[in-house]
């Protein structure tokens, strides 16, 4: 029996139809075949009217971008596996020419505006070091496939208000070139520089792996801040708080940390790990902090809560205040390295990416040595241990759905572990559509442009509602904050909880025998 | 479909690759000139410049001060087996340095030496390190720079494919063109026309070329009566990917060998020792391609019928820095990590050394018709050096832009002749309408690709070439039936036009290959395996006539 691949393709001819329709195809499977090969097969052997774009078929010209199973990809690079069905749609955001072919003239022309005059070298021969041009070369790799524009949740709400990742890349490319003579960061600002949540859907979609979130958005924001044109008013508040007392939020109740910390510094018995709380668990969602500590204790760990730990600095870093970020880094590294304990656990993915990426980078650049500790998200840290436990006797009877926090999923590659942990508790996991679509809270957008942040979140409402779950699980305090508000405003009857809370319920239930 | 939409311009550039965009930019610097650029896709979204990887040759002497313009000249004509037009070569080597420095002034970035100057590496068959590069995406770097300049210029962009030239007496007066999006035929009236349509190796089943590389310019020029030169010389790049089928033919840049990659057969032997003991992997592409082909034919091939290209002597960090695109390409298209396992490679049709016969002023033999880039012939002789193509595009793209503009300033618009329009209706447009008999253009294309690959490949014989010619003539008389009559996205109609061009180009190549009864450069006749001094001449083809002319020397 010869193997085949099934494709479900959106057909629409705007010149001759008022609406489109799905059409299914089955093509013979050939090892290593790509989506583009299947499209050629259909055109040559099944339906000559199928429209799609192509060029180099080697991932270098950017012609063939389309939505494949809901994600923007290059059809020439995406592999097809036998006995699977793939859904193909045109990229959103752009005018459809026909079927899978969209009109790239508009995004192509848009790039025209972002340029500058470069200083010409008098002897006509420029001098640079490789170090000077390393980041620039990364920007230059862009093939303008526009996958990132299709992936971006901010562009999806308003391409007018946020121009999109590849254009921000171009702003950075022009601004940071040593030959540049004209500032373009003000235009980047008015093109929505602060509307990016740093969710990295663009980085995931980029066929050239350009580090758009950090090297374009954050670097431009940092320049804007240095020039005194940023951050945004709403962001200045948390910047001030971090600067004056080391926390991003106000202190309204007894914190988890500090000399009057609720639980003291050493909690429980067993192998010691450090709990880096982050401001949200420390001062707002403290119950989640408690759940996390309980779970670790029950799994045999002693939890150390350093009294004087401060904000990781992420809100400052994402908003462009790198200096404040570095100040927090220096303070926290001194504190965290004091205990001689190698494992640092976080329950907040924002802290997670900051400690894993920014702190590691600064350790190399500023301290000229690696960090003496390794940071783990709770889900990845306890995963193996939990999976080895005997099946729990008193399972949770709960229908839940799951939202991937951007800084955990794309930021740290932790995607399957929380799902497996949920299933371990006995809860029934119902996947929502676009579970990894950004909630809109990150990157300083919730503080800086709250209504835009809520607009991004609102797109998830229908997907959440459709699951008919009793609880929405997501291991990120900031997503919890944002999505709690969303379900309340949308009248969706669902609790929003951290995986730590769910696990603690299970372990509590099981220990009650 | 009628030809009643007319666009007017002074200089029309056909093709938006490295030569075409450069030509349009230069022409547009003449303020009294209106410049239009027509291409089958948005600039940068097709063609081979954007895919080019290895480098740009220029005697900058940044790494080896003993290098010189003269050495670059000598390497080019010896690499070309001494049938290059020496005056064109002189222009190439003298102007290559200035053009790359200009590109940098316009925003391009090339890799650096430790002194901060443009770095230059060794490349195939060159006496000194003169190949400037940007990682292994040199063409991409050049295109991204050119496209930005184009967007900021006042060149008008027209989406479409040129069908045929229109002539007023002995001079060009415009073109008939087709836009598949809307299935519209239209006219462009122009004083000067620059053909910069690139190559045509899509006539071969295994090729590095993008889908758009269908040789349109050669066919369009030929049908209008222009002379073509050196059409028997087809470069088979020694190293193309072999698996999966999907990736067959995709370029594996010469830079891999330049940076230390070695070629091995399935016995682990570094076989270039047998074929080119002095230059080894960096011998001329014709020599390396034949060597690999012979190893494969002798059974010393890899599981997927190639040979190994191994980076065992290079550190993973080095590969990541110098060959990032190759790393990405093998990882994403075939699941191979080139820092851990060797690549499997095999020859692939890459570049046509021949093309439109041009003067030193980039004029073709038709008044008002100019040409630059791969569509031209004579610069590279019987075998092109790696790194000379990217230089060719910028040097001659620059010259043709200025020459065509100057010509347009002194010329008037020619007349359109109804009989030519009628002819186009009869020969080109009508056959695209629905009909009963015929086979689809894609089916004709596949037959063409197969016959060219098996009969007009790296090692040729009279017998195979003669049978190939018969095959072509049969295909030419097979009616084409366009199954897709949708006009919103009429790609199949464009495909029919392209196949028409491909058949013309293929026939010319075969005729030239039959005519040259010797082996020289990339043209190898197993029945005439020696290079014959009496054959140190060029073959010209035009209007069904084939003859030879002496090589142009300085």
Closest-CA residue in chain A for B157?
A: A105
pLDDT-based confidence at B1, cuts 50/70/90? very low
Q: Which of chain A's residues have a Cβ under 8 Å away from the Cβ of B244?
A: 30-33
Q: What is the pTM of this model?
A: 0.96
Residue B327 three-state SS = helix
Tokens representing B214?
């269908």
Whether residue A123 is predicted with pLDDT greater than 70 in this model: the reply is no
Any A CB within 8 A of B173 CB: no
- CB count, 10 Å around CB of B392? 26
Sign of CA dihedral B220, B226, B230, B232: positive
C-beta separation of B230 from B283 below 8 A: no
Q: Report pLDDT for A513.
A: 42
Q: Which of chain A's residues have a Cβ under 8 Å away from the Cβ of B210?
A: 55-57, 61
CB contact under 8 A, A77 and B332: yes
ipTM value, please give it: 0.96
Query: Mind listing the pLDDT tens digit for each residue in A318-367?
Result: 999 999 999 999 999 999 999 999 999 999 999 999 999 999 999 999 99
CB contact under 8 A, A32 and B151: no
Instruction: Give the rounded percent of residues in chain A with a pLDDT score beyond 90.
Output: 90
CB contact under 8 A, B51 and A133: no
B111-130 residues touching A, CB cutoff 8 A: 111-112, 115-118
Q: Which of chain B's residues have a Cβ under 8 Å away from the Cβ of A177?
A: 107
User: Residues B457-468: what's their mean pLDDT?
Assistant: 98
Distance from CA of B224 to the nearest CA of A (A): 28
d(CA A456, CA A192): 14
d(CA A325, CA A311): 9
Helical (H) or strand (E) element with A87: strand A85-89
Q: Report pLDDT for B4.
A: 65
Max Cα distance, chain A (Å) = 83
pLDDT-based confidence at B312, cuts 50/70/90? very high
Q: Which of chain A's residues have a Cβ under 8 Å away from the Cβ of B442?
A: 43-44
Distances (CA, A) of A448 to A236, A394, A442, B232, B516: 9, 44, 10, 66, 74
Whether residue B486 is predicted with pLDDT greater than 70 in this model: the reply is yes
- CB count, 10 Å around CB of B317? 9
Nearest to A287 by CA among A468, A458, A484, A493: A484
- What is the Cα Rg of chain B in Å? 22
Query: Mind listing the pLDDT tens digit for each residue in A39-89?
Result: 999 999 999 999 999 999 999 999 999 999 999 999 999 999 998 999 999
CA dihedral B20→A101→A29→B303, nearest 10 degrees, is 20
* Sheet with B120-121, edge to edge strand ranges: B56-57, B131-132, B120-121
Question: What is the pLDDT of chain B when averaged over all its residues?
Answer: 96
Q: Report pLDDT for A511.
A: 62
Per the residue annotation, which of B125, B202, B237, B384 is the catalytic one? B237
Any B CB within 8 A of A211 CB: no
Q: Which of A61, A108, A139, A176 to mutate to test the interface with B (most CBs of B within 10 A)?
A: A61
């Amino acid at each position: 029996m010869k193997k085949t691949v099934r494709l479900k393709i959106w057909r629409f001819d705007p010149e001759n139809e008022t609406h489109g329709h799905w059409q299914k195809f089955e093509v013979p499977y050939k090892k290593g075949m790509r989506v583009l090969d299947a499209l050629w097969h259909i055109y040559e052997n099944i339906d000559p009217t199928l429209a799609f774009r192509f060029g180099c078929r080697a991932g270098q010209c950017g012609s063939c971008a389309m939505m494949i199973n809901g994600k923007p990809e290059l059809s020439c690079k995406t592999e097809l596996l036998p006995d699977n069905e793939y859904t193909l749609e045109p990229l959103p955001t752009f005018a459809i020419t026909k079927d899978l072919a969209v009109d790239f003239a508009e995004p192509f022309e848009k790039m025209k505006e972002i340029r500058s005059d470069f200083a010409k070298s008098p002897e006509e021969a420029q001098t640079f070091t490789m170090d000077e041009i390393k980041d620039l070369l990364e920007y230059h790799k862009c093939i303008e496939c526009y996958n990132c524009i299709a992936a971006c949740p901010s562009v999806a709400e308003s391409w007018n208000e946020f121009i999109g990742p590849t254009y921000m890349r171009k702003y950075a490319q022009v601004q940071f070139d040593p030959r540049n003579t004209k500032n373009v960061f003000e235009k980047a600002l008015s093109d929505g520089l602060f509307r990016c949540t740093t969710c990295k859907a663009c980085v995931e979609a980029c066929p050239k792996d350009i580090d758009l979130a950090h090297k374009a958005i954050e670097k431009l924001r940092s320049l804007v801040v240095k020039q005194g044109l940023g951050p945004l008013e709403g962001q200045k508040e948390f910047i001030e708080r971090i600067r004056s007392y080391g926390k991003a939020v106000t202190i309204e109740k007894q914190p988890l940390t500090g000399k009057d910390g609720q639980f003291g510094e050493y909690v429980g018995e067993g192998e010691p790990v450090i709990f880096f709380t982050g401001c949200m668990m420390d001062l707002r969602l403290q119950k989640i902090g408690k759940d996390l500590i309980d779970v670790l204790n029950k799994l045999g760990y002693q939890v150390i809560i350093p009294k004087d730990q401060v904000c990781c600095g992420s809100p400052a870093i994402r908003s462009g205040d790198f200096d404040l970020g570095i100040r927090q880094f220096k303070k926290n590294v001194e504190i965290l390295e004091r205990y001689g304990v190698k494992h640092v656990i976080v329950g907040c993915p924002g802290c997670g990416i900051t400690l894993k990426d920014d702190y590691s980078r600064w350790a190399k650049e500023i301290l000229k040595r690696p960090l003496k500790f390794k940071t783990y998200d709770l889900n990845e840290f306890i995963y193996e241990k939990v999976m080895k436990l005997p099946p729990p006797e008193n399972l949770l009877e709960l229908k839940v759905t799951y939202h991937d926090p951007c800084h955990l999923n794309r930021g740290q590659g932790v995607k399957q572990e929380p799902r497996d942990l949920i299933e371990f508790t006995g809860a029934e996991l119902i996947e929502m559509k676009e579970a990894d679509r950004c909630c809109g809270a990150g990157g300083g957008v919730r503080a800086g442009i709250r209504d835009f942040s809520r607009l991004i979140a609102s797109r998830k409402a229908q997907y959440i509602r459709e699951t008919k779950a009793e609880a929405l699980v997501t291991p990120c305090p900031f997503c919890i904050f944002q999505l709690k508000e969303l379900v309340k405003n949308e009248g969706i009857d669902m609790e929003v909880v951290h995986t730590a809370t769910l696990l603690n319920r299970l372990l509590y239930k099981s220990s009650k025998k | 479909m009628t030809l009643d939409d007319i666009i007017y311009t002074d200089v029309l550039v056909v093709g938006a690759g490295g030569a075409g965009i450069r030509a349009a930019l230069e022409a547009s610097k003449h303020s009294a000139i209106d410049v239009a650029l027509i291409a089958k896709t948005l600039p940068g979204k097709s063609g081979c410049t954007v895919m080019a990887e290895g480098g740009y040759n220029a005697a900058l002497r940044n790494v080896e001060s003993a290098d010189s313009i003269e050495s670059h000249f000598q390497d080019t004509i010896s690499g070309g087996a001494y049938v290059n037009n020496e005056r064109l070569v002189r222009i190439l080597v003298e102007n290559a340095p200035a053009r790359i420095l200009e590109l940098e002034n316009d925003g391009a970035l090339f890799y650096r030496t430790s002194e901060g100057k443009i770095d230059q590496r060794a490349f195939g068959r060159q006496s000194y390190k003169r190949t400037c590069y940007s990682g292994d995406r040199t063409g991409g770097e050049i295109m991204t720079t050119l496209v930005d300049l184009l967007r900021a210029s006042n060149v008008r962009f027209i989406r479409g494919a040129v069908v045929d030239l229109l002539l007023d007496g002995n001079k060009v007066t415009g073109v008939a063109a087709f836009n598949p999006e809307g299935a519209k035929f239209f006219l462009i009236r122009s004083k000067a026309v620059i053909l910069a349509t690139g190559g045509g190796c899509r006539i071969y089943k295994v090729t590095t070329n993008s889908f758009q590389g269908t040789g349109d310019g050669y066919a369009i020029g030929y049908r209008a009566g222009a002379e073509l030169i050196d059409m028997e010389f087809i470069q088979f790049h020694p190293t193309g990917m072999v698996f999966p089928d999907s990736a067959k033919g995709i370029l594996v840049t010469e830079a891999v060998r330049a940076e230390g990659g070695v070629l091995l057969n399935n016995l682990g032997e570094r076989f270039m020792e047998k074929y080119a003991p002095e230059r080894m992997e960096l011998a001329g592409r014709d020599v390396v391609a034949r060597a690999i082909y012979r190893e494969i034919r002798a059974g010393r091939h890899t599981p997927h019928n190639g040979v190994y290209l191994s980076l065992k002597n290079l550190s993973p960090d080095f590969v990541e820095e110098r060959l990032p695109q190759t790393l990405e390409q093998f990882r994403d298209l075939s699941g191979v990590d080139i820092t851990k396992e060797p690549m499997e490679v095999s020859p692939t049709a890459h570049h046509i050394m021949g093309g439109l016969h041009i003067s030193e002023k980039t004029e073709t033999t038709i008044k008002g018709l100019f040409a630059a880039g791969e569509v031209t012939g004579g610069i590279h002789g019987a075998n092109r050096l790696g790194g000379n193509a990217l230089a060719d595009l910028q040097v001659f793209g620059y010259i043709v832009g200025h020459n065509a503009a100057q010509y347009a300033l002194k010329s008037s618009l020619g007349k359109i002749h109804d009989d030519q329009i009628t002819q186009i209706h009869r020969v080109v447009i009508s056959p695209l309408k629905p009909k009963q008999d015929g086979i689809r253009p894609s089916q004709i294309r596949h037959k063409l690709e197969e016959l060219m690959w098996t009969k007009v490949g790296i090692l040729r014989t009279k017998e195979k070439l003669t049978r190939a010619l018969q095959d072509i003539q049969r295909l030419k008389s097979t009616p084409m039936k366009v199954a897709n009559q949708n006009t919103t996205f009429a790609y199949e109609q464009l495909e029919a036009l392209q196949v028409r061009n491909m058949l013309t180009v293929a026939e010319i190549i075969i005729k030239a290959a039959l005519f040259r009864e010797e082996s020289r450069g990339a043209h190898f006749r197993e029945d005439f395996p020696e290079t014959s001094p009496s054959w140190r001449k060029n073959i010209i083809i035009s209007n069904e006539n084939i003859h030879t002319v002496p090589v142009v020397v300085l």
